[in-house]
Amino acid sequence: MRLCGVRVEGNVRINTRVSLYWHNLSLGENTWVGPECTFSSTPEAGIKIGANCDIAPQVTFVTGTHELGSERRRAGKGKSLPIVVGDGCWIGARAVILGGATIGKGCVIGAGSVVVSGEYPANTLIAGVPARVKKPLAVDQPREPLAQVETA
C-alpha cells in the first residue's frame, strides 16, 4: 500500500481483495479493513480513516459523483468531495460512504447503510438508506482509581 502512495500508519491490517481507485487514501493506526472493501478516491478528494477503526467486509467509499445534468444525460459534470472517518469508528458490512461525509469519532455505521454527504456527530449510531443518526452511544468515562484496601 505504501508503495502505491497510500498513507498507512502502524499496525494497520488489510484483508484480501481490497480495491483501490486512485491512491488518495490515509489509514490510521490500528485500523482493520475487511475483505472486499473498495476505496474510490480522486486526486482532488481523498479518504481519511482515523485510528482504531474497524471496517467490515464489502464496505465501499466513493468520493466521486456528478452534478445533475439535463434529460439528455443526467450524469452531468463530474465532481468529488472528501470522506473523513473519525477515530474509533465501526463500519458495518456492505455500508456505502459517499463523498462529503464527515463521520465523528466513535460512531457505529449500521450494515447496509448509505451515508450521504453531511456532518455526523461523534459517538452516535448511524443507520439506514439514507443513513440518519439513530441514537447517541455511551462515552467512556475516566475511571476513578480503586481505593487501597489496608490489610491487617
Give residue-wise pLDDT tens across range 29-79.
999 999 999 999 999 999 999 999 999 999 999 999 999 999 999 999 999
Which band of pLDDT confidence, cut at 50, 70 and 90, is reported for residue 140?
confident
Q: Which of 17, 66, 75, 136 is an active site residue?
A: 66
pLDDT tens per residue, range 82-135: 999 999 999 999 999 999 999 999 999 999 999 999 999 999 999 999 999 999
CATH class of 2-136: mainly beta
- 43: exposed, middle or buried (Cβ count in 10 Å: 0-12, 13-18, 19+): exposed
Q: What are phi and psi of 3, to 5 degrees?
A: -65, -25
Tell me what pLDDT residue 53 has: 98
Number of residues written out for the chain: 152
Q: Which H/E stretch holds residue 124?
A: strand 124-128
In eight-state DSSP terms, residue 48 is: E
Residue bearing the bigger pLDDT, 22 or 142:
22
pLDDT score for 117:
97
Position 5 scores a pLDDT of: 77
Residues in a beta bridge with 50: none
pLDDT of residue 145: 67
User: What was the pLDDT predicted at 135?
Assistant: 97
- Is the pLDDT confidence value at 152 over 80? no
Note the pLDDT of residue 150: 62
Instruction: Please give the model's pTM, rounded to 2 decimal places.
Output: 0.89
23 a catalytic residue? no
Rounded Cα distance, 114 and 125, in Å: 13
pLDDT of residue 67: 95
In what order do the strands lie in the sheet containing 19-21? 19-21, 38-40, 60-62, 96-98, 114-115
